[in-house]
Amino acid sequence: MLGIQQKKGDANKLLGKLIVYAKISPDAETGKGMAPLRDMVRNGLLAVSGEFKSNDSFKDFIRREMGSDSNNEGISEFIDRLKEEGVELPENLPPEAFKDRIQEISNMEIIPVPAKVVFYESEEELLQEEADIYYIGEFLGVGQAHLCITSLPIFYQAMYKEQVNSLEREYIDDLLGQIENACPEKDSTGLGCNDVFAEHTSLDTFMGNLWELLGVRIIPFLLAQKTDADYENNIRKFYGFMSSYLELEDVVQMDHSIRVLRSNQGDAKARERIELLSKKISATYQEDFKSASKLKKQIEALEN
């Protein structure tokens, strides 16, 4: 659009970190009154960077307040916590009303973040950054380049926020679905209606976001098992589901960490290890081996 090229990143999965740059022609206008803009150009490049990812997403907030337990009791405790924090929620709040109120809360975090000028020795160095990178073209007028380059972050921020909100809505819908469909008793087949492995039997046939499946469905389901016998029965199903996953040690570590957390829900290291393992398993499944390698190092560092 308008000659703008996305040099790095995926427009449908924005990272929340943006770099926009333009090349300034050697014949560019650099006369009187251009000093402030001229000083922003280095090595023929005018670049700005914006960081729009919040440190603590709404999903992280929910997980922190509820832990990994997304059953009815966890929701009740979460609502009580919100009330303690001064959020007005009526008694016996139905799921739809709860959903609307939660979405109102999640939309309160819109805070404009300005982009700042950044300098690079070359375009090659700039393109090494872990960010969504856009190139807007070559300019003779430094003023025009500056106007274009500082306008794009506003549009980017809006689109990134829209993607984050969409993912959070999906998360809330899934969370509420578990509440509405909760079924602690098992039926005649021996499967509870909340048995995630009745719906997802194999990684080979799974279509979707594996990290979300692990964090929202599988791990809370395993943690919620009432007896050790129930856990052993369902962890076998988990191993069966993950049987085609190439790095089985990740699954073994996940099993061990869940067992630790079942014994001690306050074990912060086990909780963090589960989060990192979920991300690593998902990255490996998506063949994002660079991210998987970084996550492996984080997991190893956690043990030191």
Taking only the tens place, the pLDDT of each residue in 139-174 is 888 888 888 888 888 889 889 888 877 776 666 566
If one counts every other C-beta atom within 10 angstroms of the C-beta of residue 86, the result is 6
Q: Is the pLDDT of residue 298 over 80?
A: yes
* Most confident option among 51-55, 113-117, 130-134: 130-134
For 95, the token pair is 């799921």
pLDDT over 50 at 70, yes or no: no
- Is residue 184 pLDDT above 50, yes or no? no
Which long-range CB contacts under 8 A does 281-284 form with residues at least 24 apart? 281/210, 281/211, 281/214, 281/242, 281/245, 281/247, 281/250, 281/251, 281/254, 282/209, 282/210, 282/211, 282/214, 284/245, 284/246, 284/247, 284/250
Q: What integer pLDDT is reported at residue 239 of this predicted model?
A: 92
- Say if pTM beats, i.e. exceeds, 0.85: no
Rounded average pLDDT over 117-121 = 90
Task: Fill in the amino acid letter for 220.
Answer: P
Mean pLDDT, the chain, integer: 76
Segment of 106-110, 174-178, 196-200 carrying the highest mean pLDDT: 196-200
Residue 66 has pLDDT above 50, yes or no: no
pLDDT at 303 over 50: yes
Q: Report the pLDDT averaged over residues 113-134.
A: 88
| pLDDT tens-place string over residues 240-256 | 999 989 899 999 999 99
How does residue 211 score in pLDDT terms, banded at 50, 70 and 90?
confident
CA 171 to chain centre: 11
Q: What percent of the chain has pLDDT over 70?
A: 67
Q: Are 145 and 24 in contact (CB under 8 A)?
A: yes
In this structure, the number of other CB atoms found within 10 A of the CB of residue 279 comes to: 21
